[in-house]
Amino acid sequence: MNKVQVSLIEVHPVTRKELGEHEVVIDIDEYGARDLPDFFKDNLGDIRTWAAKAVASRFVDYDSFGSDSAYLDRLDQVGELLYLSDVSVPNAEVRPYDIEGIYPDDGGIWADMEHGSCLGEAQFRGLWTMSVNNGFDLDAAIKSGVSPDKAVSGLQTYMDDQELTGMCLPRGPRVEDAEALLSKLSEMARNGGEADLRQAVVEGAADFIGRLNEDIPDVIVELSVETEASPTSAL
């Protein structure tokens, strides 16, 4: 994979009010499932910069500038109003993972579900979530006038402080899933026909057992159709 999807929040230069969010897919160095989450985390600054230039170029007209340097300066000015809000693997199959971490300074255990295209992306998202829970506040950074680059640096510092345990696994069937299946079958037993009930039991059990025993390889599975959100506001 050599692309990454980036979400950026646009803010007003004076009021610091959030004006909207932009999404863009950019080309970066080649990476794989094993490279995440460190690849994303270590390159957040460059990813934000490249994505900001790509978004700014949608609204800055090259032909209206007398030189390349003036055009590039304007791209940088617009880019200083774009804050990183999300990074993900684009155009890929996403699955849920159960993940666990430890907050710094004996801050306790965190455990939750994160989605990702692979184990590493789920871990990256877990580190981001833990950072927010532990004090990283993008809204506060925006309102206080912290630059987009310094906001990213702050996020990286928080992410470096978090610790993930070895518990990060694709989510399989849970007790709630079994209860939902039994509830469905009970309803059919009361109100449905024998043939329908037999078929539902066979199909439901096969699906549940199949998910329970599923061996999910840790690879990024690309989808056949790539989509990208269109911008809706001018910078």
Q: Where residue 173 falls among pLDDT bands split at 50, 70, 90?
A: low
Identify the DSSP state of 222.
B
Does the reported pTM lie above 0.75?
A: yes
Instruction: Count other C-beta atoms under 10 Å from residue 98's C-beta.
Output: 16
pLDDT of residue 194 exceeding 60: yes
Q: Where residue 235 falls among pLDDT bands split at 50, 70, 90?
A: very low
pLDDT for the residue numbered 233: 44
Query: pLDDT of 146-163, one tens digit each?
Result: 999 999 999 999 999 999
pLDDT of residue 216 exceeding 80: no
Average pLDDT over residues 181-186: 70
Contacts of 78 (CB under 8 A, 6+ apart): 52, 55, 56, 59, 60, 235
> CA 26, CA 90: separation in Å to the nearest integer?
10
Average pLDDT over residues 3-13: 96
Query: pLDDT of 9-64, one tens digit each?
Result: 999 999 999 999 999 999 999 998 888 889 999 999 999 999 999 999 998 888 88
Domain borders along the chain are 3-170, 175-212
pLDDT for the residue numbered 66: 83
Q: Where residue 182 falls among pLDDT bands split at 50, 70, 90?
A: low
CA atoms within 13 A on the CB side of 5: 16
Average pLDDT over residues 180-193: 71
Least confident segment among 1-5, 18-22, 177-181: 177-181
> CA 119, CA 108: separation in Å to the nearest integer?
23
pLDDT for the residue numbered 215: 66
Query: pLDDT of 50-108, one tens digit each?
Result: 999 999 999 888 888 888 899 888 888 999 999 999 999 999 999 999 999 999 988 89
Q: Which helix (H) or strand (E) holds 126?
A: helix 119-134
